[in-house]
A and B are shown apart, each in its own frame.
Chain A
């Protein structure tokens, strides 16, 4: 079936629009309608996203899809819509006010080159809330919030989005005859397009500043603002570029359970709390994970909690591992039964817990860190003598601890350390080199 040509995209039964006499909004919206008629788009494939301000009243007068949201956030909804369905034509109507509060989103949509068309209804002030100044208000202008003259530099929205990657930038006024063509081009453009459209606010800005069409053009001249297409580039539209960049991932298996079967047995009865205190970047978490996984391979339950500073490559790294016979999660922070202290950073962090260890606890500690104050049985580990890299000391220390305590078989730990094939060889070599640690 051939669709009859559409002669308008306005909801004619809801007209007229509610704008003040002399306001440029109605004119611009009529030009937008002309552009849509030029393009003959299916209204179900067009989403008109409106911002807050008088232009935000306009969505209901169009027969396309519409989304009316919060002040300055229109570009974010438009981005979500386009990301979800890149085939849609997404048109954002935003005021000069919205360009201020939503500036961050405009910068990022331009930078990403999200395929949307942003029409800026630029009447140089806030019309809806009572004539306050906006980021676009010219110097010296009188507004209700700049009674004694405006001393702020106005934002050049075209220049701003252009330097940040917008691929189509244009400026016009509500008086320009070719505005429908300009809007048509902007909508046709595959990428982020913005048209800054200057107009008169007949309620506030024009009367407060005796502003008219002639002065509007004079102000643009003074600012060095040209009209027409200011820039048109050709770079990949984001929502398609994103899909292309991840295309080779399609169909790959999703993250799934990684089963650990019980291959070994352990004589462990009650829960045992082990703490491994080391330094950042020394694979403390990795070794503690292998320790936990080895326990699971031995039929135990393990829980691992890591603690490290926000700056991950410096300072301490501590892992607490609780092994138990049953599926019970120990809460709180009881004093560990076993501690493995490898590096000065870990000792500094854990000094208090080392000191609080009970007489029944065992402290495995890098011999170079001795003496320490503790009631626990101290087992010195001579890491320096093994000439192994410090990144493997945690693996080695845990292996020594397992041999000494017999918590579960060393073979289970070896299996766990080899779970990730790319690290298996080095991990296993380190575990083998741990034999001499206990001296």
Chain B
């Protein structure tokens, strides 16, 4: 398997040196070194936040954070995975929380202690503007919080680094839930559909279909496909 083409480079996993092929992600490099990761690995696709890893490059003083499944190793990287973040999360009943900033600060009063130091933004492995959404939360601009935090993978690094002891990722989660539940207007089309289903509007047709043979089902399918119109690509129709 290993051949001459693969160049080996040194990395340090919790201080111990291993030679691993260059080009691997931190996760694969640790596996190559022999680690069978339990904590510190989840989706392996950059969305679950389980594999966040603290690292330092040789010759620098900065500590960086990256997702192990997404970050490519460099020679002489010092690595340590964060197995767990004991961050604070408020307990609430979402239907009783209102869409105003006072409810947010009641649940997370420490929000107002933000020092605007930008440490959270620098630490975020997803490169989100964490301080930006914290500032928006302080102003009560919920929409901005949703926009800036929607890609958050909940790894908790912002909470680990925050000198004012906030849990920005949990504050953003609360605000996104408030926004989704209380700010976006309900869809009359959905309400109408639920009424129709409750009223049994499709029952008869469905019962007939359950008795239908393959040919009849295919005939209906072709009918539906023929009338799907231009909806496949909604060019220009997409509004923000």
A and B: partners?
Answer: no
